[in-house]
Structure 1
């Protein structure tokens, strides 16, 4: 049976930053377990024909000195660029947001396409992480970065369970290819004066990550909730009507895809960057809904996920030293 000192469930930004922080502290026996075929979570980019589209986070802002110092390095390395916005610049990856996640993950050990079915907290022994394949991995510490509703399903029966209650709004994203230009003005992002139910519209050709015109249309949480029982084709058809508003004369929609984000944004947040659970607090929950006490934005975002992962990693490093 495989044994690891730390298992991190979820390869999104919080999981990556937890791992990076631990490795800087000298903890090498780490494994990220990720259900998808790539790390990144909502730092998600999809190839569509000859082009590509971000369909999760489109950009991020910076309020903390901690993240700003890192962003300056990313800018210097060509990983990200300033896209638009003042007084808070909107930064985005130069090659799609998933590429930034992969660069941050670096050489961190990751087990992809792998779902966890349960986490058992033995009172006198190691934690037992069971995969859907039936394989079990033993570990001293476990960090769960999945959205809290999913985390609770994994932790059923865990002793001293004190998980916060957080609800999430869904988001439906339509991705469309055009055979000509769009009417979305440069730099390729709209979030004002949009039709009812639409949160934002993005042209990835003008954003600079796609060689062909691809457009993402994000629907609001309320719209997505009202329509979540519809079939995918029906949802996509409604979103395509929005996309067609941005066709230049002579252009047409040539392809369409849908992404359902079930846990897109937390409707409530936790004013602590992580929560310790289980026997001796060996299970840590963190993620973008776990905000540091001094967080001025008060909402889930790239930066809250980034800082939550760092805080969880630092706390685990302290626990190893008995602090």
Structure 2
């Protein structure tokens, strides 16, 4: 049984930023536990044959001074570029959005392919995180960055009634390889004048991250919700009809894949960058659904996840430095 000052559950953007904030404040006895084989969460990129496709977040915008400062650093490092957009530029990673997550997480202590089964809040002792393999990790503070419905399943003994109303819409993304150029207009992003049920279409070759022509088709939450129980092949066939609109003369689809995002976007947000739960409020839940009170955009996005992680990290650092909990 190991011990850590802070256990962070989830290696998406919020978890990464919480960890970086703690490290910057001198709290280094931490661990990020991530169930997937890579960090990033919805900063997700998939290799398809010789190409690649972003199939989660495609870009991000900047409103806060904190993110603007980091964006300047990321631009200088060559991690990101300005893709399109006015008055708010859309920034994207030059090698796929997952590459940005990996760059940000490079120096952080992370356990990949590790799934948490439960969190227990002992009366007087440390918090206890139990893993699927039966291993237990004790911690002074826990930050949970998993989507709220998943967080609830980990916290059966910890009351969090203020979060029970948070629901998420799913999103289906079809990814298609074309054998020739698509007719998606430059710079490779289209979110207007689309067929019913389609949110956006992205050409990753024109975006600059894929050597081959790969096109992602994002379906809306309502469309995806109505078809959630259908078989993958049935869903993909429907989405392919949309992709075929962008083939161009003599073009063909040579590969097709589907990504199901069960928790794509919250249908309601929390007007606080985190929520503290449990005995002595030692369990914190944060993520893109947790917005700062003066957030002007009012919706979940890359920046809300980024800011929520920073706020959570700052709060935990403050508590640990003023705490005598053993």
Please give the range of the TM-score, normalised by the shorter of the 2 chains.
over 0.9
Indicate the residue corresponding to 1:21 in structure 2. Answer: 21
Indicate the residue corresponding to 1:213 in structure 2. Answer: 213
Indicate the residue corresponding to 1:8 in structure 2. Answer: 8
Q: Does 1:82 align with 2:79?
A: no
1:120·1:129 contact (CA, 8 Å) conserved in 2? yes
Which sections of structure 1, spanning at least 5 residues, go unmatched? Answer: none
Change over 3 Å in CA distance of 1:320–1:151 after alignment to 2: same
Question: Could you list the per-position Cα deviations for residues 59-89 of structure 1 after superposition, in whole angstroms to 9, with x for gaps in the alignment?
Answer: 0000111100110111111110000000000
Query: Structure 1 residue 321: deviation in Å?
Result: 1.9
Indicate the residue corresponding to 2:42 in structure 1. Answer: 42
Deviates more, 1:160-169 or 1:146-155: 160-169
Indicate the residue corresponding to 1:179 in structure 2. Answer: 179
RMSD of equivalent CA atoms: 0.8
Query: Structure 1 residue 162: deviation in Å?
Result: 4.3
1:44·1:98 contact (CA, 8 Å) conserved in 2? yes
Question: Could you list the per-position Cα deviations for residues 85-114 of structure 1 after superposition, in whole angstroms to 9, with x for gaps in the alignment?
Answer: 000000000000000000000110111111
What pairs up with 1:264-283 in 2 under 5 angstroms?
Answer: 264-283=264-283
What pairs up with 1:1-323 in 2 under 5 angstroms?
Answer: 1-158=1-158, 160-164=159-163, 165-322=165-322
Query: Structure 1 residue 161: deviation in Å?
Result: 3.6
CA–CA distance in 1 between the matches of 2:133 and 2:4? Answer: 18
CA–CA distance in 1 between the matches of 2:114 and 2:236? Answer: 29
Query: Structure 1 residue 163: deviation in Å?
Result: 4.3
Query: Structure 1 residue 118: deviation in Å?
Result: 0.2
CA–CA distance in 2 between the matches of 1:156 and 1:227? Answer: 30
State the secondary structure of the residue aligned to 1:46: strand
Which sections of structure 2, spanning at least 5 residues, go unmatched? Answer: none
Q: Normalising by structure 1, what TM-score? A: 0.99
1:162·1:277 contact (CA, 8 Å) conserved in 2? no
1:189·1:203 contact (CA, 8 Å) conserved in 2? yes
Which consecutive segments of 4 or more residues in structure 1 shift more than 2 A?
160-163
1:152·1:163 contact (CA, 8 Å) conserved in 2? no
Query: Structure 1 residue 248: deviation in Å?
Result: 1.5
State the secondary structure of the residue aligned to 2:246: coil
CA–CA distance in 2 between the matches of 1:39 and 1:310? Answer: 17
Q: Normalising by structure 2, what TM-score? A: 0.98
State the secondary structure of the residue aligned to 2:156: coil
CA–CA distance in 2 between the matches of 1:262 and 1:279? Answer: 30
Deviates more, 1:104-113 or 1:199-208: 104-113
State the secondary structure of the residue aligned to 2:260: strand
The alignment covers a number of residue pairs equal to 322
